[in-house]
Structure 1
Amino acid sequence: MRGGLTEAGPTPARGTIQAVITAMSVLAALALFVASCATGGTGARDEGPAHTDAVAGVTPSPSPSLTPTDAPDRADAVRLVKDDPSVSAEVKRELKPCVGDEYPVDVSYGDLTGGSGNDVIVNVLTCGDLVGVGSYVYRESDGGYENVFKAEEPPVYAEIDRGDLVVTKQVYEKGDPVSSPSGENVITYRWASGRFVKEFSWHNDYSGVVGGDPTASASDAG
Structure 2
Amino acid sequence: MAVLAALGLLVAVTGCATGGSGTRDEGPAKTGPVASAAPTGPSASPSPKDVDAVRLVKNDPKVSVAVKRDLKPCVEDEYPVDVSYGNLTGASSSDVVVNVLTCGDAVGVGSYVYRPEGKTYKNVFTDEQPPVYSEIDNGRLVVSKQLYEEGSSVSDPSGEEVITYRWSKDHFALRDRTRNNYSSAVSGETSAPAEN
Could you state the TM-score of these two structures normalised by the residue count of structure 1? 0.62
Q: Separation in 2 of the partners of 1:45 and 1:113?
A: 15
CA contact (8 A) 1:187 1:200 kept: yes
Deviating more after overlay: 173-182 vs 95-104: 173-182
Name 2:35's counterpart in structure 1: 41
Name 1:191's counterpart in structure 2: 167
Residue among 119, 126, 137 paired with 2:95: 119
Which structure is higher in helix share? Answer: 1
Name 1:108's counterpart in structure 2: 84
Deviation, 1:142, is: 3.4
Name 2:20's counterpart in structure 1: none
Q: Deviations over 1:122-148 (max 9, x none)?
A: 000000000000000000113210000
Name 2:191's counterpart in structure 1: none
Residue among 59, 64, 74 paired with 1:98: 74
Deviation, 1:42, is: 4.8
Name 1:138's counterpart in structure 2: 114
Cα RMSD over matched residues? Answer: 2.3
* Secondary structure at the counterpart of residue 53 of structure 2: helix
Gaps of 5+ in 1: 1-38, 47-67, 209-222
Residue among 136, 152, 175 paired with 2:128: 152
Name 2:57's counterpart in structure 1: 81
Q: Deviations over 1:138-172 (max 9, x none)?
A: 00113210000010010000001111000011100
Consecutive aligned runs of 4 or more in structure 1 exceeding 2 Å deviation = 42-46
Gaps of 5+ in 2: 1-32, 41-45, 185-196
Deviation, 1:175, is: 2.4
Name 1:204's counterpart in structure 2: 180
Distance 1:84 1:44, change over 3 A: farther
Q: Separation in 1 of the partners of 2:50 and 2:129?
A: 25
Name 1:71's counterpart in structure 2: 49
Could you state the TM-score of these two structures normalised by the residue count of structure 2? 0.70
- Quote the sequence identity (%): 62
CA contact (8 A) 1:95 1:104 kept: yes
Q: Which amino acid aligns with 1:41?
A: A
Q: Deviations over 1:1-39 (max 9, x none)?
A: xxxxxxxxxxxxxxxxxxxxxxxxxxxxxxxxxxxxxx8
Distance 1:203 1:45, change over 3 A: farther
Q: Which amino acid aligns with 1:87?
A: V
Pair member with larger Rg: 1
Q: Tell me which of the two structures has the higher relative contact order, counting C-alpha pairs closer than 8 angstroms and 6 or more residues apart.
A: 1
CA contact (8 A) 2:87 2:93 kept: yes
* Secondary structure at the counterpart of residue 133 of structure 1: strand
Name 1:166's counterpart in structure 2: 142
Distance 1:122 1:72, change over 3 A: farther
CA contact (8 A) 2:34 2:53 kept: no
